């Protein structure tokens, strides 16, 4: 695949997530997908594409929202995407009751593409800020 096709694949991946289309993962993600930065919740240990689908379902049901791609750079078989995710904390996450409040998280994600599918992912997300927004970590003193 060309660099532009790889970028389109990653953009489509986020569009399908935003649409809640878990079935699209079968087309877009390799069966032996490797997530080097899994979600910070227990019980999401399934390997490969099934593990991704499990995390997708959990977050889609709990915090439906959108991903805005701010920047995207590609070279060879890798695509780097800087994005902002926005949602509303509507349903409980493992051990964390829903607040109904909006949440925002920024991140930079590297996907490796193999045979036209997402094969690996590395990400650097603002998990600290996310965990503060959902009430797992208290905000700094004096913050609202």
**For residue range 75-108, what is the model confidence (pLDDT) as tens digits?**
999 999 999 999 999 999 888 899 999 999 999 9
Q: Which residues pair with 73 in a beta bridge?
A: 80
Q: pLDDT class for 17, splitting at 50, 70, 90?
A: very high
Q: Is the pLDDT of residue 9 over 80?
A: yes
Question: pTM of the prediction?
Answer: 0.89
**Strand pairing category for 102-114 and 78-88:** antiparallel
Q: How far apart are CA 139 and CA 29, in angstroms?
A: 36
pLDDT of residue 117: 98
- pLDDT for 23-75, tens place per residue? 999 999 999 999 998 776 766 667 899 989 998 888 899 999 999 999 999 99
Average pLDDT score, the chain: 92
**Burial group, residue 97, by CB count within 10 angstroms (0-12, 13-18, 19+):** exposed
Q: Is the pLDDT of residue 144 over 60?
A: no
**54: Cβ contacts below 8 Å, ≥ 6 apart:** 44, 46
């Amino acid at each position: 695949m060309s660099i532009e096709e790889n970028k389109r694949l990653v953009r489509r991946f986020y569009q399908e997530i935003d649409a809640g289309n878990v079935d699209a993962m079968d087309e877009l993600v390799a069966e032996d997908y490797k997530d080097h930065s899994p979600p910070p919740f227990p019980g999401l240990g399934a390997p490969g594409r099934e593990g991704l689908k499990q995390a997708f379902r959990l977050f889609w049901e709990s915090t439906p929202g959108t991903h805005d791609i701010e920047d995207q750079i590609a070279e060879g078989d890798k695509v780097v995407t800087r994005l902002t995710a926005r949602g509303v904390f509507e349903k409980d996450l493992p051990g964390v009751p829903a607040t109904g409040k909006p949440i925002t998280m920024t991140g930079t994600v590297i996907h490796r593409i193999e045979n036209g599918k997402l094969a690996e992912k590395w990400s650097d997300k603002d998990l600290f800020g996310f965990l503060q927004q959902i009430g797992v970590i208290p905000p700094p003193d004096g913050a609202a």
